A = this chain, B = another copy of it.
Amino acid sequence: MTFTSLTDADRAAMLAAIGVESIEQLFDDIPAAVRLDRPLDIGPALSESELYDHMTALAARNVDVGRELSFLGAGMYDHYVPAVVDAVLQRGEFLTAYTPYQPEMSQGVLQAIFEYQTAVCELTGMDVSNASGYDGTTVAADACYVAKLATGRTRIVVAETLNPQVRQVVRTFAPGFGMEVVEVGHHDGLTDPEELRSAADGAAIAIFQQPNFLGLLEDAPALAEAASAGGALATAHVDPMSLGILEAPGRYGCALAIGEGQPAGNYLSYGGPHYGFLAARQDYARQLPGRIVGETSDFQGRRGYVLTLQTREQHIRREKATSNITSNQTLLALAGLVYLSWLGPSGLREVGERSHALAEHAKRRLGLPLAFEHPTFREFVVRTGRPAREVIDECKRRGVHPGYPIGRDYEGLDDALMMAFTERRTPEEIERLAEALSAVGVEVAA
């Protein structure tokens, strides 16, 4: 199956117009030694229906959240994505357009991004947002670069309760940025503001997560204050779905707010593509990486939207650029915008409240010892009294994935499971979870 229009007659006419005998001749500039003299060994061409059968067979070998009752979270959540999101994303005019370099051709996507930026600012309480980062990990690295530019400093401080993947990405790129990473350990699952204060003194940036990776609510205002006291950019990594009920980072003094957009409008999709968001106080607008859309007007004074602050960007400033993003995640951010518009403020609050209520219900129902006795949002860590890996394997045989084996990332939690609850879960499903756990020897409440 190919997607070309040229017929033999077309080809002949075109070669004649070019003035060559064969297509081969067009490749004369390629030295013989570097030409491939055999067909690519990548399997035969498939027709659409063969491809469909092949791919459905592959898909059938995955156990998606519709095929087992899953309490996995750990950064990616099974909130319901309404069909209207797909309807918008499948509009060819959005789907098959690229970066809106030519604003007159692209008012649709430009206005949508402007609306998205507004939504992110509203969620986070910030002044400015970019048009999207790659995901919730890379926006943290982006934030570090912003901080370096803004402060001239090089130390990055991260809380140990920040998502491990986020910390890993920061560590990968910090050396290239000329920065170093310091980690602040947790105490009983939480970050101590005073430890953060001293670590962040003289640092470029301090990043913490709310709710943190363990599902716990940090004393975010205290952390923000402690982080910024010594001049570092206080940066909260936040879950968009919490922001209907949890305070906006901009309201407790953060300079930057970042996060993973997946829970807000993107499918799980085995980890991507999703969008990361990055918002800042006005002071840092000119240091932000990524596309940014601004309002302007046309010859007739009509309102319109364009990519702006381009002097930050690679295509203008090249090696001096402060933004090195070209392709970004606009389509996923558009999904986020449609989803948040579908929710509205009350819907967002309800999703938060109901996920929270179900999680609290599950805590009560299971009655298992909590690994950390602190308030949580929609995810918590329990001790099962058995190696988590075994509990998972055995529950899965009963059609239940009971949660994330958090011992993978933190010491001393090998018997612990982190369980996530979204508005899609039901009390009946929590009952099934309790039954499965009980059946595999975990001592849940009767």
* A contact set with B: CB distance below 8 Å: 48-49, 52-53, 56, 66, 80, 82-83, 87, 90, 92, 423-424
Contact = CB atoms under 8 A, between A and B. Distances in A.
A48 B339 CA distance: 13
A48 B84 CA distance: 11
Contacts of A423: 49
A83 B56 CA distance: 14
B92 A90 contact: no
A155 to B, nearest CB: 44
Contact of A82 (B48, B66, B87, B424): B48
B424 A48 contact: no
Contact of A56 (B66, B82, B92): B66
A163 to B, nearest CB: 26
Given A56-B66, A66-B56, A90-B90, A83 B48 contact: yes
A2 to B, nearest CB: 13
A178 to B, nearest CB: 47
13 contacts: A48-B80, A48-B82, A48-B83, A49-B80, A49-B82, A49-B423, A49-B424, A52-B80, A53-B424, A56-B66, A87-B90, A87-B92, A90-B90
A11 B56 CA distance: 49
A56 B64 CA distance: 13
A53 B69 CA distance: 12
Contacts of A56: 66
A17 B52 CA distance: 57
A88 to B, nearest CB: 10
A212 B56 CA distance: 34
Contacts of A87: 90, 92
Nearest to A53: B424
Nearest to A86: B90
Contacts of A49: 80, 82, 423-424
A106 to B, nearest CB: 20
A82 B80 CA distance: 27
A424 B87 CA distance: 29
A377 to B, nearest CB: 19
Contacts of A80: 48-49, 52
Nearest to A423: B49
A97 to B, nearest CB: 15
A62 to B, nearest CB: 15
A52 B66 CA distance: 11
Report, nearest first, the 10 A-B pairs whose CB atoms are least far apart.
A49-B80, A48-B82, A49-B424, A90-B90, A56-B66, A48-B80, A52-B80, A49-B423, A87-B90, A48-B83
A102 to B, nearest CB: 24
A33 B423 CA distance: 43
Nearest to A83: B48
Nearest to A90: B90
> Which one of A49, A53, A90, A92 has the highest number of Cβ atoms from chain B below 10 Å of its Cβ?
A49
